[in-house]
Amino acid sequence: MAKAGTPEKGDALVIIEPSEEREVYVESKIMAIYGEAIRKTVEEKTSGLVARIVVKDFGSLEWVLCARIEAAIRKFRGEEE
């Protein structure tokens, strides 16, 4: 399991776990307003990754979300931070 981020306001928590199939779960307090944009960012950044991907957004800006996703992917693949 790879994890990046925190559950703090303005941040995002990204968890990636091994899985036989691709599963993507996105939660956000602002899902009603920005849910489509958040999901699009997650799908774009994780395309081709077969894993269980959980993103819990706490009002993060897009660049923060992207950085958290990229860090979690690097950890998942065993790359150095």
Contacts of 28 (CB under 8 A, 6+ apart): 34, 35, 38, 56, 57, 58, 59
Per-residue b or e along 31-42, where b marks 16 or more CB atoms closer than 10 Å to that residue's CB? eeebeeebeebb
Whether 81 is in a domain gets the answer: no
Q: How far apart are CA 18 and CA 2, in angstroms?
A: 9
Q: Which residue numbers in the chain have pLDDT < 50?
A: none
Whether 27 is in a domain gets the answer: yes
Range(s) of the domain holding residue 7: 2-76
Give this prediction's pTM.
0.93
- pLDDT at 80 (0 to 100): 63
- pLDDT at 79 (0 to 100): 81
The two three-digit tokens of residue 27, written as one number: 């939660």
The structural domain count of the chain equals: 1
